């Protein structure tokens, strides 16, 4: 499975750039953040029924990045 990391504009929420990865672990290493933050972002955008996060750091991360899968 391949993952697409989309960097979003904070004001307009439009995609600024896209990069393809082979794993969520690679994404977390490149962004210098935890695997959990990236995985939670991925789940939020892949599952419609997922619960929105409450932590401020995760909320900020979700505003700036979007991780989706590509089959």
pLDDT, one tens digit per residue, over 2-24 is: 999 999 998 998 999 999 999 99
What is the C-alpha R_g of the chain? 11
pLDDT at position 47, please?
Answer: 87
Q: Residue 32 burial (CB < 10 Å; 0-12/13-18/19+)?
A: exposed
What does DSSP assign to residue 12?
Answer: T
- The reported pTM is 0.89
19-62 confidence digits (pLDDT tens): 999 999 999 999 999 999 999 999 999 987 888 889 999 999 99
pLDDT at position 13, please?
Answer: 87
């Amino acid at each position: 499975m391949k993952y697409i990391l989309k960097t979003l504009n904070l004001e307009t929420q439009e995609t600024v750039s896209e990069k393809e990865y082979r794993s969520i672990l690679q994404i977390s290493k490149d962004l210098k953040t935890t695997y959990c933050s990236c995985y939670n972002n991925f789940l939020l955008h892949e599952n419609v029924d997922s619960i929105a996060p409450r932590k401020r750091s995760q909320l900020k991360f979700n505003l700036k990045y979007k991780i989706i899968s590509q089959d």
